[in-house]
Amino acid sequence: MRWSRTLIPTLKEDPQEAEVASHRLLLRAGMIRKLTSGLYTYLPLGLRVLRKVEAIVREEMDSAGAREVRMPILQPMELWERSGRRAVMEEIMLTSQSRQGREMALGPTHEEVVTALVAAEVGSYRQVPLNLYQIGPKFRDEIRPRFGLVRCKEFLMKDAYSFDCSEAAAEKSYRLIFEAYLRIFSRCGLKVETVEADTGVMGGSLSHEFMVPASSGEDGIAACPSCGYAANLEKAQLRPPEPAAPTAEELQTVETPGMKSVAELTSFLSAPPERFIKTLLYRAGAAIVAVLIRGDRQVNESKLKRALAVEEPALAGEEEIRKVTGAPMGFSGPVGLKGIRLLADYSVLTIADGITGANREDLHLLHVNRERDFKVDEYADLAVAAAGDGCSRCAGRLTIGRGIEVGHTFKLGDKYSRALGATVTDEKGREIPLIMGCYGIGISRMVAAVVEQNHDSAGIVWPPSVAPYQVALLALNPDEEVSSRADGIYRGLAAAGLEVLYDDRPVSAGIKFNDADLVGLPIRVVVGKKSLRAGKVELRDRSGGEVESVSPDDLLESLRRRLEVRPGDNLK
RNA sequence: CGGGGCGUAGCGCAGUCCGGUUCAGCGCGCACGGUUCGGGACCGUGAGGUCGGCGGUUCAAAUCCGCCCGCCCCGACCA
């Protein structure tokens, strides 16, 4: 492609709207442009990258036995009522009405559609295993789009859905896709970490996230360097700490006028947050439960949900708190709380001589000791993991990092197949619900992740497998001679099947060099008067290394050699 | 949804505090002419603006006040 015949609006300066590297560089390299918050246009170069990633995903999905389909973006809301997910998903869905007055939504995901399809078309155990996937736009009305392509309202996703008639077979389908995912990310030049994750609104029993470690990532990852355990912060299980020995000091009441938060109390009483027992009142179905946790820790509501076995635990309101504790919000404590279940995070075990609310306005208690002053019904792992916490699998300590979630796999069980009637007849003639799995990859987000992991101060350094073109051909100060030589070389390389972006613009050499670095194609070929005089052209890898001078006749061979050495593929 | 920041030419910004002959400005880009020509060249000429929008205060508003819109960042019930 001739640079002069396409649209690559590079930017000399950093756009003020972009904070993270991928966002900044994709804008500067003229690959994407924002329409409005969370919505981007892919310009020719950006689209080529998107397509490269898409092609790799498609190849690996196909060879893992999945079959591509294409489902509508627009979906009837009625389907979401049938699956019972309308309530939880509605707020991220953009809805509208058809002319007939039917409520429609832009699909944020397609479990409902695919399950309805399979319910209608698959009736026998002989037709499974079946895995259907598609690559297409998804729409989610995100509360806060962020970081360019990382979190958009509209994005490109690959979503796959497996159907099996036994747990064992479903497990096998899951493994197959899990392994395909590892190949996909590696082929795209991404280093990923797989972590155990929470299943969230998808439901199901087990799920893994594929995370690209990046400081700009939105998700926290807890990892254990000793045993390799890794999990999303939401999910990371913690080892119970060593209990602290109680003290003999007498319980004492202290006035704390208007001091409601641990932060306020910490400075008022000059005691560290680790000595506070926070008492949070949660609504669990009809009952109210008191949840105790150390003052410096946070309750992980996903864990709490599992511990309480209720759908949506929610913090109790001011009214309920008064009713249960007899005091306003901010002065709750476990001592003397009657007729209510006390659930405590393991962190409470480390508190001896604690501080907690007195269940009376403007009063707190000092020298509180568990067992002596209050009795916990159950200790559980309820805290959001923090650096240095004990690993649940070994004696190691967890580290906390950040990552971009590029893929997510779920074992769904029969949640959707039951709700939407996706059943088959088994060998014995019984009707059984299909066991499902679902598997997503954020294709557009992967583009951002690749840039996060592959850039330097001058610009993007594309892995060859997803680079928009393989070769940047620069004609320096193109007079007639340089121009005609470069034209010839361009035609020759293109005819040989190489993807070449030919910078034929009438701009200065410096601009071409800088733009080439910014755009980040794997190999740069320079044609200029200086080297032409010696009968040579120059090659250089974007990833570094020396400039190589070769005669134009040897150029093709030289390029092929450089491209082959790479771990990437997809060089047709 | 809460908090913070921002909105002036295509892009990056100054001017806003303290209203008025520095108030429509700078750099880059763009167009034309000329000189240059291997890491963002130089000279000259020129085009380009509802100062985010609406309303108000004032003799006078980019500047002060009110409402609204958009964008970016942080946080979303932790007692």
Evaluate if the CB of A514 falls below 7 Å from strand B.
yes
Q: Considering only residues 211-230 of chain A, list those whose CB is below 7 Å from strand B.
A: none
A473 CA – B35 C1', rounded, Å: 28
Evaluate if the CB of A286 falls below 7 Å from strand B.
no
Q: Considering only residues 89-118 of chain A, list those whose CB is below 7 Å from strand B.
A: none
Residue among A260, A192, A179, A119 nearest A406 (CA): A192
Evaluate if the CB of A281 falls below 7 Å from strand B.
yes
- HEC secondary structure over A411-446: EEECHHHHHHCCEEECCCCCEEECEEEEEEEEHHHH
Distance CA A502, CA A492 (A): 12
Q: Considering only residues 465-504 of chain A, list those whose CB is below 7 Å from strand B.
A: 476-477
The nucleotide closest to A276 (CA, C1' atoms): B79
Evaluate if the CB of A517 falls below 7 Å from strand B.
yes
A67 CA – B21 C1', rounded, Å: 74
**On chain B, which bases lie within 7 A of the protein's CB atoms?**
1, 6, 11-13, 27-29, 36-41, 70-79
The nucleotide closest to A330 (CA, C1' atoms): B79
The nucleotide closest to A357 (CA, C1' atoms): B79
Distance CA A495, CA A504 (A): 18
What is the pLDDT at residue A311? Answer: 67
The nucleotide closest to A288 (CA, C1' atoms): B79
Amino acid type, A250: E
Evaluate if the CB of A538 falls below 7 Å from strand B.
yes
Evaluate if the CB of A11 falls below 7 Å from strand B.
yes
Q: What is the pLDDT along chain A (572 residues), one digit of tens a residue?
A: 999 999 999 999 999 899 899 999 999 999 999 999 999 999 999 999 999 999 999 999 999 999 999 999 999 999 999 999 998 888 889 988 999 999 999 999 999 999 999 999 999 999 999 999 999 999 999 988 999 999 999 999 999 999 999 999 999 999 999 999 999 999 999 999 999 887 776 667 789 999 999 988 888 899 999 998 988 887 888 999 999 988 888 999 999 888 888 888 888 888 888 999 999 988 887 788 999 999 988 888 888 888 887 767 778 878 888 888 888 888 899 999 888 899 999 999 999 899 999 999 899 999 999 999 999 999 999 998 988 999 999 999 999 989 999 999 999 999 999 999 999 999 999 999 999 999 999 999 999 999 999 999 999 999 999 999 999 999 999 999 999 999 999 999 999 999 999 999 999 999 999 999 999 999 999 999 999 999 999 999 999 999 999 999 999 999 999 998 554 444 43
A506 CA – B44 C1', rounded, Å: 21
A14 CA – B63 C1', rounded, Å: 28
A379, β-bridge pairs:
A344
Distance CA A213, CA A412 (A): 26
What is the pLDDT at residue A318? Answer: 80
A512 CA – B59 C1', rounded, Å: 56
Alpha carbons within 13 angstroms on the beta-carbon side of residue A436 total 30
Which superfamily, per CATH, for A18-73+107-217+401-451? Bira Bifunctional Protein; Domain 2 (3.30.930.10)
Q: In the structure encoding, which two tokens stand for residue A505, read together? A: 């613009």
Evaluate if the CB of A505 falls below 7 Å from strand B.
no
Distance CA A473, CA A465 (A): 18
Evaluate if the CB of A145 falls below 7 Å from strand B.
yes
CB atoms within 10 A of CB A540: 17
Evaluate if the CB of A38 falls below 7 Å from strand B.
yes
A365, β-bridge pairs:
A253, A356
Evaluate if the CB of A270 falls below 7 Å from strand B.
no
3-state percent breakdown (helix, strand, coil) of chain A, nearest 5: 30, 30, 40
Place of tokens 């134009």: A552
Evaluate if the CB of A146 falls below 7 Å from strand B.
yes
Distance CA A560, CA A567 (A): 13
Distance CA A472, CA A499 (A): 9
Question: Where in chain A is CATH 3.40.50.800?
Answer: 469-565
Angle between helix axes A44-63 and A167-187 (nearest 10 degrees) is 140
Residue nearest to nucleotide B41 (CA to C1'): A508
Give the three-class secondary structure for A3: helix
What is the pLDDT at residue A565? Answer: 59
Distance CA A312, CA A298 (A): 17
What's A469-565's CATH class?
alpha beta
Query: Could you confirm whether domain A252-380 is CATH 3.90.960.10?
Result: yes
Q: What are residue A518's phi and psi, to 5 degrees?
A: -60, -50
Question: Where in chain A is CATH 3.90.960.10?
Answer: 252-380
The nucleotide closest to A534 (CA, C1' atoms): B38
Evaluate if the CB of A288 falls below 7 Å from strand B.
no
Evaluate if the CB of A526 falls below 7 Å from strand B.
yes
A289, β-bridge pairs:
A282, A341
What is the pLDDT at residue A330? Answer: 86
Q: What are residue A354's phi and psi, to 5 degrees?
A: -90, 175
Distance CA A70, CA A104 (A): 18
Evaluate if the CB of A8 falls below 7 Å from strand B.
no
The nucleotide closest to A218 (CA, C1' atoms): B74
A35 CA – B53 C1', rounded, Å: 20
The nucleotide closest to A147 (CA, C1' atoms): B72
Largest CA distance in chain A: 95
DSSP state of A370: B
CB atoms within 10 A of CB A82: 17
Q: Kindly report, residue by residue over A90-144, the tens digit of the pLDDT.
A: 888 998 899 999 999 999 999 999 999 999 999 999 999 999 999 999 999 998 8
CB atoms within 10 A of CB A519: 27
CB atoms within 10 A of CB A325: 26
Q: Are A483 and A506 in contact (CB under 8 A)?
A: no
DSSP state of A390: B
Place of tokens 């279940």: A341
Q: Kindly report, residue by residue over A200-232, the tens digit of the pLDDT.
A: 766 677 899 999 999 888 888 999 999 989 888
Q: Considering only residues 178-207 of chain A, list those whose CB is below 7 Å from strand B.
A: none
First to last CA, chain A: 15
A154 CA – B50 C1', rounded, Å: 32
What is the pLDDT at residue A195? Answer: 92
Burial string for A10-35 (b: 16+ CB within 10 Å, else e) reads: beeeeeeebebbbbbbbbbbbbbebe
Residues in chain A: 572
